[in-house]
Amino acid sequence: MTVAGIEYLVCDINEVRETQSAHPWLASLLSPAEVKRSDRLRHASDRIAYRCAHLVLRLVAARRLGADVRSAGDLEFTRCCRSCGGPHGKPQVTDAEISLSRSGTMVLVGSAPPSSPIGVDIEGLPSEVFPGFDDYVLAPGERTSACTNPDRRRLELWVAKEAALKTTGHGLSVEPNKLEVVRTEVVRTSEETSSLDGSGAWASSIRAPDYPDIDGLNLASVPCRPSHAAALSCVDQLPVTPLTLSDLLIE
């Protein structure tokens, strides 16, 4: 099946492992390069998480492209850093927009039509933020905003800006404090089947007048565990649909 809007999946690595146990053939979908990269990681938990996250990436991309789930292993992904040209950064696959983020055991993957660049980010709520966080991450207007849970608000702003910077491929070559998250008018479409923020709205956008390709990117929060925050950014305000692992295994 091919999809017109945006789809995303947020899940725990343990859910992916359980799915693999029920469908052992899934392990064969990873490329030799992905297996090799995972083997370089020092900790077994990181090796497992890397493989599970990239398996989900392949399955979401296959669904986006209307490919048979068992052919997900044939997809060719490339990465090219916008800043240095190195083989890292946002994953790319022909005829689809795709974005991946992982924090601890949580993974988030989003997909969109090739004409609608997207970025996703998920992060766990830290026990404390690093020194200088506000200066590095927050725009001047965001530092003075009052809220009941400032640590939560900091995290939500961080993931929103990370998602936006992944959308364009800038990454942290642009300091997050150069971007400001602003509320936007609620926009709905009759085709929306689900939402990211409970209302079907793209509730925020990025203000970054010095970076025209980042300025105006649309933002929405992604429902996830209370211990995490997640966000989705896209050039367009497309309908958004959450997925389950079972959705990805439909043949």
Domain boundaries, the chain: 6-189+196-248
Q: Tell me what the mean pLDDT of segment 92-102 comes to.
A: 96
In the structure encoding, which two tokens stand for residue 7, read together? 């789809």
CA distance 59 to 23: 13
Confidence at residue 9, expressed as pLDDT on a 0 to 100 scale: 97
Count of residues for the chain? 251
pLDDT tens digits, residue range 101-155? 999 999 999 999 999 999 999 999 988 778 889 999 999 988 866 666 788 889 9
Q: Tell me what the mean pLDDT of segment 47-58 comes to.
A: 97
pLDDT at residue 26 is higher than 70? yes
Please classify residue 143 by burial: count the beta carbons closer than 10 Å to its beta carbon, then call 0-12 exposed, 13-18 middle and 19+ buried. exposed
Cβ atoms of 241 and 223 within 8 Å: the answer is no
CATH topology of domain 6-189+196-248: Ribosomal Protein L22; Chain A (3.90.470)
- All residues at 6 or more sequence positions from 199 whose CB lies less than 8 Å from its CB, including other chains: 186, 188
User: Quick count: other Cβ atoms within 10 Å of Cβ 125?
Assistant: 17
Cβ atoms of 7 and 195 within 8 Å: the answer is no
Phi, psi at residue 9, to the nearest 5°? -130, 125
Cα-to-chain-centroid distance, residue 109 = 5
Pairing of strands 240-242, 6-12: parallel
Cβ atoms of 199 and 220 within 8 Å: the answer is no
Q: Which residue has the higher pLDDT, 236 or 146?
A: 236
Cβ atoms of 230 and 224 within 8 Å: the answer is yes
pLDDT at residue 40 is higher than 50? yes
The closest alpha carbon to 72, from 103, 109, 101, belongs to: 109
Q: How many helices (H) and strands (E) does the chain have?
A: 7, 11
Collapsing DSSP to helix, strand or coil, 51 comes out as: helix
> 145's torsion region: left (phi>0), alpha (psi -120 to 50) or beta?
beta
Phi, psi at residue 250, to the nearest 5°? -70, 125
pLDDT at residue 198 is higher than 70? no
In the structure encoding, which two tokens stand for residue 102, read together? 């992982």
Band the pLDDT of 196: cuts 50, 70, 90.
very low
